Copies of this chain bind each other. A is one copy, B any other.
Amino acid sequence: MSRFRVSIHIVPRRGILDPQGKAVTDALHSLGFSAVADTRIGRHVVLDVAAPNAAAADTAAREMCDKLLANPVTEDYEIAKVEGV
């Protein structure tokens, strides 16, 4: 078994209101960053997993997203990176 570091992005699904992102956009405008048109805020999860290979670590991470980490109704996730450590 090797150790892998799996990075996951969990973001609000497109089309679903992201009130936290809207609040940050407004705050950035107040600070003078008028070039910002939109902000989406999600979670960046980094898992330290033991697995026989990178593909198994990826599969395990997807299962964890489906069962616990992401809300299947309002959020999308993607496995951003799997790297050996």
A residues with CB within 8 A of B:
1, 3, 9-11, 24, 27-28, 31, 33, 35-51, 60, 63-64, 67-69, 80
Contact assessment for B37 and A68 in the assembled complex, using a CB-CB cutoff below 8 Å = no
Find the B residue at minimum CB distance from A18.
Answer: B46
A27 to chain B, nearest CB (A): 6
A29 CB, nearest partner CB in chain B, Å: 11
Contacts of A37 in B (CB 8 A): 3, 48-50
Number of copies of this chain in the oligomer? 2
A44 and B41 within 8 A (CB): yes
A interface, over-half SS: strand
Q: When chains A and B are docked, how far (Å) is the Cα of A49 from the Cα of B24?
A: 13
